[in-house]
Structure 1
Amino acid sequence: MRSPEKTHLYSVLSLTFLIVLFSACSKEEKKDVVAADNTEEMTSYLTSLGFDKQHIVFDKDRVIVELDILMTLPELKQRVAVWKKDNSGVPQTEQRRNTYIVSNTYNTNIKLYIDAAVPSNWRTAIQGAVNNWNAVNGTRLGMSIVTSQSDSHCRVFMGNETANWIARAYLPASNGRPGVSVEINAYYNSLAANQKLFAITHELGHTIGFHHTNQTSGTYIPGTPQTDANSVMNSFVLPWNGFTAGDVLATQILYPQ
C-alpha cells in the first residue's frame, strides 16, 4: 500500500481496471519500433552510460530511455560516433549525469514556447516550473516563456495516449542547446495542480541535463546525495514542496554563476 502523499510515476494495467500511480516515467509499448541497422551499437552506448537495456525503446526517429527521456536518432548516432572515437572500445563504467548540459550561449535564458492547445491548468504548471528553476540561488540558469515558436529553444505541447506516462522530454543536444521539447499527456489532465507542477519541473530538469536521481544512468555529480527521496528528479511524482538541498546544489554545480 502506498502513502497518500507519495504517488509513484508508474502505472499498472490489470485485467479489470487501471490503477494510476501517476507516472512521469513509464513503460512504453513497443510499437512503431524503428528498423535501424545499428540499434545494437546504439544500445551498447546507452547501456555504457548506465541505462537499463530493458528501458530502451526505439520508436520511429527517436529513442525513449528510462521511460520519459527522449533522444532523436541523429543526435544519438552523433553521440555514438564520439563515444567510439574517444574510447576505442574500452568498456565504460556507469555514470551519473548527462554527457551534455546547456551551454552558456543559452543557459541564462532558455526560451519555452507553449502550444495553443495546452490547457490553462497545464500552462499554470509550466509557468510555475519556470519560476521554480529561476528561483534557485547561486546559478546562471534562467528560463522564460515566449510567444513565438521561432524564437524558442524548447516547445511544450500536448500528446494524448491512453498510456502510463504523464510527460516526457528531450535531453540537451551535443551542440549545447536545451532539450527541444516537453510533451504532456492529456490523459492525465485531471492530475492535481501541485503534482502537475512537480511533473513539469521534473521534465524541465531533463531539458537542462539532469537524469533521475534514483537510477544509475548519467554521471554522478560529486558532492550531491546519490539518493534523495524527495528530489524533483526522482522518477515518481509528489505534491510540489520545493527543491531539496541536493537539487539546489546540483544546479549550482552544473550552472554556477
Structure 2
Amino acid sequence: MKNLLKKIAVMALLSAVMISCSKKNDISTDPETETTQNQKVLAYIKNLGFTDAQIVDSGDNYVVDGDIVFNKKMEVPADYGKAITEQYYNGYIVTNSNNIRVKIDPSITSMTSEINSAINQWNTVPNSKIKFVITTGTVYDILIKVDNTIGGSTCGQAYLSTSNGKAGNTVWINQALIQNNSFAQRTRTITHEFGHTISFKHTNQSTTTNVPGVGGTDAQSLMNGGQCGSGATVLSAKDKQATAVLYPL
C-alpha cells in the first residue's frame, strides 16, 4: 500500500511540473504575462512625457499623440526611468544614421516623388550626417507603405527609433486622406513621419524638454503635431539645428 501511495504521489508531482512548465513556456498566450508587458510599455511611454489622454490602444500597438506608434511587444529599455534632458526626441539615436535604408512598398509607389523630396529635406540638413537612401533590396531599415485605415484626421503614423540604435522600422501613410493635399503638404507628412523614425517627438508637446542649445518654442517646426495638411512644409531653422546636435558630422 505504501509503495502504491508513493507512486501516486510521484505521478501527481510529475503532472503538476508538466502543467507548470507548459504554462511558463507559453508566454504568448499567458494573459497575466501579456498584461505585465503592456503595463511596462505604458510606463515607458508615460516616462517619455505622454499623458493617458494621448495614448490610444490600437490592438497590437499603442498610438500616441496621433501618429507615434509603440508595439506592445517592444523591448522596453532597462534604463527608461532615467531623466532625459533633450527636446524633440526619445533619447535613442540611430546608429547607422548615415545610411538609413528605406524600402518603398508597392502600395505607395505613386508617391515616390514625395518620398524622395522628404528624404532630400533630411539629407541636406547642414552639419548633420543623417542620410536616408532608397533601396529595392530585401534588407532595409524602414518600410514605408499605405494604410488608409488609420482614420480620422491622421495623415500618417510611424515607429520611433529604438534603444538598440535602430530606426523606427515602419511608416504608414494615409494616402486616401492626403491625396488631394498639395505636393508640398504630402511631402510634409512623409518628412514628419521620417522624423519620428530617427527619434524626433512632436516639438509642440508641452512636456518635452530641450535639446542642448535648442530651447524655446517653434511655431514653424515641421515636427509639430496635429497639423495634418496645414503645417510647415520645410524643416525650420530649429529643426535643422536640433538634427545637427543629435546627428553631428
Structure 1 residues 241 and 58: CA distance shift in structure 2, 3 A: closer
TM-score, length basis structure 1? 0.75
Q: Does 1:215 align with 2:205?
A: yes
Separation of aligned partners in 1, 2:39 and 2:156: 27
The residue number in structure 1 matching 2:80 is: 83
Letter paired with 1:193: F
Percentage identity across paired residues of the two chains: 33
Larger Rg: 2
- Cα offset, 1:78, TM superposition: 2.0
The residue number in structure 1 matching 2:141 is: 153
Q: Which has the higher contact order (CA 8 A, sep 6+)?
A: 1
Structure 1 residues 160 and 253: CA distance shift in structure 2, 3 A: same
Out of 233, 240, 246, the residue aligned to residue 238 of structure 2 is 246
Structure 1 residues 93 and 155: CA distance shift in structure 2, 3 A: closer
TM-score, length basis structure 2? 0.77
Q: Does 1:256 align with 2:248?
A: yes
- Cα offset, 1:223, TM superposition: 1.5
The residue number in structure 1 matching 2:221 is: 231
Would you say the 8 A contact 1:111–1:153 is kept in 2?
yes
- Cα offset, 1:59, TM superposition: 2.4
The residue number in structure 1 matching 2:28 is: none
The residue number in structure 2 matching 1:37 is: 35
Letter paired with 1:227: T
Q: Deviations over 1:28-55 (max 9, x none)?
A: xxxxxx9941334433332222102111
- Cα offset, 1:101, TM superposition: 1.7
Would you say the 8 A contact 2:62–2:69 is kept in 1?
yes
The residue number in structure 2 matching 1:51 is: 50
Separation of aligned partners in 1, 2:180 and 2:207: 31
> Secondary structure, in 3 states, of the residue corresponding to 1:144?
strand
The number of aligned residues is 212
> Secondary structure, in 3 states, of the residue corresponding to 2:171?
strand
CA RMSD of aligned residues (A): 2.3
Tell me, which stretches of 5 or more residues in structure 2 are unaligned? 1-30
Q: Does 1:60 align with 2:59?
A: yes
The residue number in structure 1 matching 2:165 is: 176
What does 1:129-148 correspond to in 2, within 5 Å? 129-148=118-137
Q: Does 1:203 align with 2:193?
A: yes
Q: Deviations over 1:161-218 (max 9, x none)?
A: 2432111111111110111010011321222211001111111110101010000355
The residue number in structure 1 matching 2:114 is: 125
Would you say the 8 A contact 1:51–1:216 is kept in 2?
no
